[in-house]
A and B are shown apart, each in its own frame.
Chain A
């Protein structure tokens, strides 16, 4: 606890970690199937409340299989770091949890993953049983690398319907102009129009994802992601940034959003306590409110799609958020056939029912049949239809890009909102990726 041991621990600790990584790096790369454990398939997943469904699937699989799946849960916040550290070593998992897109792009580039296309040819259900807009998230260079394995989490505009009523707003805004109008009314009513956990940075990013999609369509981001960063300096990009600036300058988010977090309950409490009218948040916000303030979640929590922007190129039904989580298989696995067999459980009825029971919304085509079993069927159906009908489901920017881009994106969106950088500063930051 004293400063000196603390100092040496930090420096030595970092150094040791780096050394460990060096050794791991040198030892890795050459792993072949025979050096891996016999009759075991290691399954690495993000450790949280959803693990009980994963465990149930593992148990079900192990009952009939000679090759046993071993579930390794890795505590949430460290997941990506730990995965990146072990994936190129002999202790790499056979099957692992990921977010698709950028979270596996580097692994594909390093030739560490097994394309699933051969398995899909044998059993088309491995692809056809899932909603296409979701399945596509784990397609890299036209090859499929992942199968959806948890729930979808689209971002929606949540509201406190009582606050809206008091401010004279009858329905959630369908267009950008209505949103600006509502901001004025809410300000006049003395509340913060839109709650924003700016200190977490990713909630700020949600506004960019939607406004860019609505104004410029889904292609702008896709083009940028593929390497043509000039699009960030296009007229559409500047128009989108102008819209955001207009909203910020209208006082939509108040003045202290940079000190507010979603993760410690700050911004959701603003909404539930009636001190804010809206919050743009992932579908998990419902569970957050249900946990912290069940009265509010049942009676006053409203939700709607992100408003359309007049004259914009994007389809107003496009979604953004986390499409789903995925299981991918590493190339060095000793038992690829068994691993693929395990993935087939991800479209089984039992899997879907288990996921719905813990509040997740799976993205299989048969999910619809079981939505009445959800805790809030109305909410589950609304969400499911949004995802099913969405022409395009934009994966969150920080997950579409490889992990090394996250800090740059998060800093840029936060600085743009707080006014530390202007349009040019934001464009320059995004072009540096």
Chain B
């Protein structure tokens, strides 16, 4: 029976059995436009259409009452002349830079460590990942309470924090936001690095050990180069995440003191939903889209990520 079946299947046309088989294959077909339809519709509905709508709104003046009124380039002129807008862009870039600088080394170290076989690894990793399970709003409320200058941590450690006016100074407020961001997002990036580190072929380490390389040398000569593509992915995520950070700022500092932590995403919210100036809010949203796209493109170009070179080439 089996020999009969295998012999019959590849037989060229003519038999009654092969014809329906062939037409069955062609009905499954190659990827066509229809395959892309659900994703295209979804993307258009939830990304493209709103993007175009925001672009249109950015040329109007609208408070939510009545119909949007076309005002040409007024909103854009306002934004260009607005010192807070420029400051917010610098602050956003500063937040991204500080976020990348603090989170990347920490999550690489933790990720590589968590990829190992140590006995306590599973338990400790599980604990490290807890912040990942909490919502940003909950995390912000939690830290806000913990940082109360009189009844929180600073109140107890006055030798370290002085009068505890952490959120009342620009350096303090930025420091708090960076720290809370680190606390919140390091676990996520650790997870990415852990997966990548686990994928590094063991033979590389065995070869290095034979050549006499120690732990540190192995880390810098094998692990880090092998994590290159992962690092780029992780950094792009941090950049885009940093640009759109919003709820932590809203709850922890409310953009203050003054406008010292008013980053662009928060400024967009403030203009659109607190000041009910949807025109300017939309213009800021577009600036964010443009800046985020530009930064991502630069990172991809500079890092050579677009060439998609495998880090395992030659193995």
Q: How far is the CA of A257 from the CA of B257 in the complex (A)?
A: 11
Q: Which of B82-108 contact A (CB under 8 A)?
A: none
Q: Quick check: is A84 within 8 A (CB to CB) of the other chain?
A: yes
Min CB gap B231→A, angstroms: 14
Q: Quick check: is B298 within 8 A (CB to CB) of the other chain?
A: no
Q: Which residues of B contact A21 (CB under 8 A)?
A: 64, 278
In the complex, identify which listed stretch (B14-22, B160-168, B210-218, B305-313) lies at the interface while the others stay far away. B160-168
Verify B151–A266 contact, CB threshold 8 A.
Answer: yes
Q: Quick check: is B193 within 8 A (CB to CB) of the other chain?
A: no
Q: How far is the CA of A4 from the CA of B53 in the complex (A)?
A: 22
Q: Quick check: is B241 within 8 A (CB to CB) of the other chain?
A: yes
Residue of A nearest to B176 (CB): A259
Q: Which of A4-58 contact B (CB under 8 A)?
A: 4, 6-8, 10-12, 14-16, 18-19, 21-22, 25-26, 28-29
Most chain A CB within a 10 A radius of its CB, from B56, B276, B285, B292: B276
Known A-B contacts A18-B53, A256-B164, A257-B168; the reply to A406 vs B274 at CB < 8 A is yes
Most chain A CB within a 10 A radius of its CB, from B144, B154, B168, B237: B168
Verify A260–B148 contact, CB threshold 8 A.
Answer: yes
State the interface size on chain B (CB cutoff 8 A). 66
Verify A258–B274 contact, CB threshold 8 A.
Answer: no
Verify B257–A414 contact, CB threshold 8 A.
Answer: yes
Q: Quick check: is A198 within 8 A (CB to CB) of the other chain?
A: yes
Min CB gap B302→A, angstroms: 20
Q: How far is the CA of A25 from the CA of B65 in the complex (A)?
A: 7
Most chain A CB within a 10 A radius of its CB, from B62, B66, B246, B272: B66
Q: How far is the CA of A269 from the CA of B149 in the complex (A)?
A: 12
Verify A269–B151 contact, CB threshold 8 A.
Answer: yes
Which of B51, B63, B168, B269 has a CB less than 8 Å from the CB of A256? B168
Verify B254–A199 contact, CB threshold 8 A.
Answer: yes
Which of A1, A22, A405 has a CB less than 8 Å from the CB of B53? A22
Verify A18–B254 contact, CB threshold 8 A.
Answer: no
Q: Quick check: is A275 within 8 A (CB to CB) of the other chain?
A: yes
Known A-B contacts A18-B57, A107-B65; the reply to A12 vs B240 at CB < 8 A is no
Q: How far is the CA of A112 from the CA of B151 in the complex (A)?
A: 47
Sample (16) of A-B pairs whose CB atoms are under 8 Å apart: A1-B132, A14-B272, A15-B47, A18-B272, A18-B281, A18-B282, A19-B53, A29-B67, A84-B65, A112-B65, A198-B168, A258-B257, A259-B154, A259-B167, A266-B150, A420-B258
Nearest first, the 9 A-B pairs at minimum CB distance are A258-B168, A15-B50, A3-B241, A256-B165, A3-B237, A256-B149, A259-B167, A19-B53, A404-B275
